């Protein structure tokens, strides 16, 4: 039963509960550290029943990763040529930060996969991801050539955006441990900081 789309209501529900529980576990324990027991418990299902919906531990993990990359690229894809370059990039930063706020577990799942050497998504990295980065880097270079943006390596600029925004999801406990606890309000502070920060760094130097 790992075909196409789920059919019945129960299937849809259980599949969703499994993926949700699996996201919890994989994103914190990593693939090797996760156990089906934890996932089954989290989903409120017996282990064999869980395996009735997904044939293996790997299948669950694969399913989670499958949709991830595309969702992950959406904010960058949405960066457009028209409009002010600096604001276009700042908007991208803020969209990406929003992803970290809304989907922190997905971010950590992704981070775990990369830390392990990306055994399952290397293809997507050197494929879709690299292509998109190449394309957007060219766009940024155009802006820079036009003097609308400070000169700097576009790829490393993109890396910096990923790093600074994902940090708030991946290193969440550290961030919270250092900032005196304030719920999720630090995301607003982060947004303010990052917007200022990137505006400062990106504005063309005279």
Site for its own copies, rule CB under 8 A:
27-34, 108, 111-112, 114-118, 122, 125-126, 129-130, 133, 150, 152-153, 155-157, 159-160, 162-164, 166-168, 170-171, 173-175, 177-179, 189-190, 192-194, 196-198, 200-203, 205
- Identify the residue among 2, 16, 35, 138 touching DNA (CB under 7 A): 35
How far apart CA 186 and CA 203 sit, in angstroms, is 25
Coil, helix or strand at residue 121: coil
Binding mask 54-93 for DNA (x = CB under 7 A): -xxxx-----------------------------------
CB of 180 to its own copies, least distance (A): 9
Neighbours of 187 (CB within 10 A): 17
Half-sphere exposure of 170 (CA within 13 A, CB side): 16
Least separation in angstroms between residue 48's CB and its own copies is 13
Q: Shortest distance, CB of residue 172 to DNA, whole angstroms? A: 24
Tell me whether residue 17 is exposed, middle or buried, using C-beta atoms within 10 angstroms of its C-beta: 0 to 12, 13 to 18, 19 or more. middle
Angle between helical axes of 104-115 and 154-170 (0-180°, round to 10): 120
Q: Between residues 58 and 151, which has the closer beta carbon with respect to DNA?
A: 58
CA distance linking residue 64 with residue 3, whole number of Å: 15
Per rule CB under 7 A, is residue 48 in the interface with DNA?
A: yes
Residue 125, C-beta contacts closer than 8 angstroms, at least 6 positions apart: 118
Q: Is 34 in the site for DNA (CB under 7 A)?
A: yes
Interacting residue ranges for DNA, rule: CB under 7 A: 1, 6-8, 10-11, 14, 34-37, 45-49, 51-52, 55-58
């Amino acid at each position: 039963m790992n075909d196409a789309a789920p059919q019945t209501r129960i299937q849809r529900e259980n599949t969703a509960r499994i993926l949700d529980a699996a996201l919890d576990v994989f994103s914190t324990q990593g693939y090797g550290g996760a156990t089906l027991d934890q996932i089954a418990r989290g989903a409120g299902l017996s282990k064999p029943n869980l395996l009735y919906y997904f044939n293996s531990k790997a299948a669950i993990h694969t399913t989670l990763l499958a949709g991830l990359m595309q969702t992950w690229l959406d904010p960058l894809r949405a960066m457009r040529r028209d409009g002010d370059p600096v604001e276009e990039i700042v908007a991208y930063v803020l969209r990406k930060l929003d992803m970290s706020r809304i989907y922190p577990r997905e971010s950590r799942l992704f981070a775990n996969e990369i830390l392990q050497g990306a055994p399952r998504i290397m293809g997507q990295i050197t494929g879709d991801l690299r292509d998109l980065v190449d394309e957007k880097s060219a766009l940024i270079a155009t802006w820079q050539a036009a003097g609308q943006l400070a000169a700097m390596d576009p790829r490393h600029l993109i890396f910096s955006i990923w790093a600074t925004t994902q940090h708030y999801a991946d290193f969440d406990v550290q961030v919270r441990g250092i900032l005196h606890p304030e719920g999720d309000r630090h995301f607003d502070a982060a947004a303010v900081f990052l917007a200022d920060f990137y505006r400062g760094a990106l504005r063309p130097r005279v």
